[in-house]
Structures are given as C-alpha cells and as structure tokens.
Amino acid sequence: MTQLVVATGNPGKLKEMQSYLEGSGWELTLKPAELDVEETGTTFLENARLKASQVAIATGQWAIADDSGLAVDALDGAPGLYSARYGKTDQERIEKLLAALGDRGDRSAAFICALVLSRPDGSVALETEGRCPGEITRAPAGSGGFGYDPIFYVPETGLTFAEMDKDQKRKLGHRGRAFEKILQPIQDLCPAP
C-alpha cells in the first residue's frame, strides 16, 4: 500500500476519507500535528490546493486535502470560507446564520467541498469540487451530524442533513459527491507498492 497523508489533524475526517477510499490501494495517515498550513486562498479549491501541496512537500508523501463550507445565496455566499469560524460553537454558528437570514424568502444554499490530491513534490495530480444544493430551514431539525446539518434541508429527500442516516448523507453530501468524481482516477494513480 502507498501512504497518503490526509492534510488534517482531525481523526474524524481521516476516518471519513478512509471510508471513501477503502480498497483503493492507499494507506491513509494524519498529517504531523506540528504541521499547520495557513488557509490564505480565496476559494475552497485554492485552500485545498495549499493544504495538499504544502503537506506533500513537508512529508515527501502523496497528500490529499479538502476544504468545505456552506454558501448561502441571500448572504452573498457567506459564511463560505469562514463556515467553521462563523461562531465559536455549532449552536452559535446556527443562531448567527438564522439571524442573518431573518425572514428572507430566498433560503437557497449549497454545501461545497473541494478535494485536491498532490504528488510528493507538491504538484497537483487531481482536483474536483462536489456541491450539494439545498435550503436553510427556519429552525433546526434532527439530531444527527454536526455543524450546520440541522438547518440544511435537501429538498430531494425532504430531510435536513441532521435527519438523514449516515449512508444517505454520505451519498448525497458535498464530500461524497466530490469523492465520487475522483474515486476511479485516484485508484488509477496509486503507485504500485
């Protein structure tokens, strides 16, 4: 198996990526804890490129990174790149977003996930973006998931992300859609051991 460093310090994200890449020939590991990459990009894709390339160069290994967030149309794409920093807690972020939207009729939004795979020299081997369109509810619903999941409603299912089971969210979610696009190419790129 060829080692693939996941450009995150989050064990949960490592586990999630492992589930998408199971049987791909890659052995996923977390980036070194002391290696921090400043996200200075102006798009999700730019931030994912920065993280994947810098972690690949620093470790001398293949690296994969994602950057994702929630873009609300009526808020000019906010919280966008700042989705995780929109408040100190999930509850605070949800309350702030609902207050910013107020009684607006247009509640359309999308979760976006950019994925980038970099070679050990830092050059980009693959990149893609997955989007899950939906709407922001007026109040939280459901107890699963995390972040904005209780207020992100997917019309095709009639459920918020927090009301979906893990398999349904994995298939319909932004990260799942991004991985679906690069799963075969990423398997094809796996160097022989």
For residues 132 and 179, give the distance between their C-alpha atoms in angstroms, rounded to a whole number.
13
Is residue 98 a contact partner of residue 70, using CB atoms and an 8 Å limit?
A: no
Q: Is 67 a catalytic residue?
A: yes
**Which member of 66, 67, 165, 188 is catalytic?**
67
The three-class DSSP label of residue 131 is strand
Q: Are 64 and 128 in contact (CB under 8 A)?
A: no
Q: What value does the CA radius of gyration of the chain take, rounded to a whole number of Å?
A: 17
**159 beta partners:** 154
Query: Catalytic amino acids?
Result: 67
